[in-house]
Amino acid sequence: MKSKGIHILVVDDHSVVREGLISIICAEPGFGVVGAASNGAEAIEAYDRLLPDVTIMDLRMPVLGGVEAIGIIRNKHPGAKILVLSNSIGDEDIHLALDSGAMGYIFKHSSIHEIVPAIRSVAEGNEWIPMDVSDQLRHRVAAGVLTSREREIVHLIMLGEANKEIGDRLGITEQTVKSHLRNILPKLQARDRTEAVTVALRRGIIHLPET
């Protein structure tokens, strides 16, 4: 039987961040950490076993990322309350996390005075979308949203592939690739391919390969 208070699962692949969060949480009256995980796969297993009141979830992790883990947990446990704590300020990452079922999103540079009320709010069943996060989401609405094919093309440009190579890989003509690029550049407000990749990385539309 659970003791009283808010029981929290902490998920982050960086041990320093994970242990720091645990220290902050354990110092707060009424909070308790019931478990920790270092990737999305571990998070799913830990959630199934512990059924925490709130899960604090990072996004960029090995094995299984946060967005995927959130979707799986919410599918298995529709009432799961998940708060994302991430370095990613990209509007696409924020959108995907919330669309997958996260109830709140805060940046890792947030102070303890922002993190604690966020946890309490999510525990009470409320969304937590601070102003800096909502500003990024408004930017996504104002800017163009890339289609899945357009995201594929920008990703392949990031990997250094030329238009013909991209066409061969995707089974489309080089001319079709160029047509997609004519749509991509204004959506990203970019002047050329290089700037398109830079903007897409910043917004979280694409990500650098894991090293």
For residue 116, give its domain range.
Answer: 6-129
Total domain count for the chain? 2
- Tell me, yes or no, whether 95 and 158 share the same domain: no
Tell me, yes or no, whether 125 lies in a domain: yes
- Tell me, yes or no, whether 124 and 160 share the same domain: no
Average pLDDT over all residues of the chain? 92
- Tell me, yes or no, whether 118 and 177 share the same domain: no
Question: What pLDDT shows up at residue 1?
Answer: 45
pLDDT of 185 > 80? The answer is yes
Question: What pLDDT shows up at residue 138?
Answer: 77
Question: What pLDDT shows up at residue 143?
Answer: 65
CATH of the domain at 112: 3.40.50.2300
Average confidence (pLDDT) over 190-207: 90
- Listing DSSP states for 148-161 in one string gives HHHHHHHHHHHTT-
Tell me, yes or no, whether 139 lies in a domain: no
Tell me, yes or no, whether 30 lies in a domain: yes
Residues 6+ apart with CB under 8 A from 96: 67, 204
Q: pLDDT for 11-32, tens place per residue?
A: 999 999 999 999 999 999 999 9
- Tell me, yes or no, whether 45 and 101 share the same domain: yes
Nearest to 121 by CA among 102, 107, 134, 108: 102
Tell me, yes or no, whether 100 lies in a domain: yes
The span from the CA of 151 to the CA of 208, in Å, is 13
Average confidence (pLDDT) over 189-205: 90
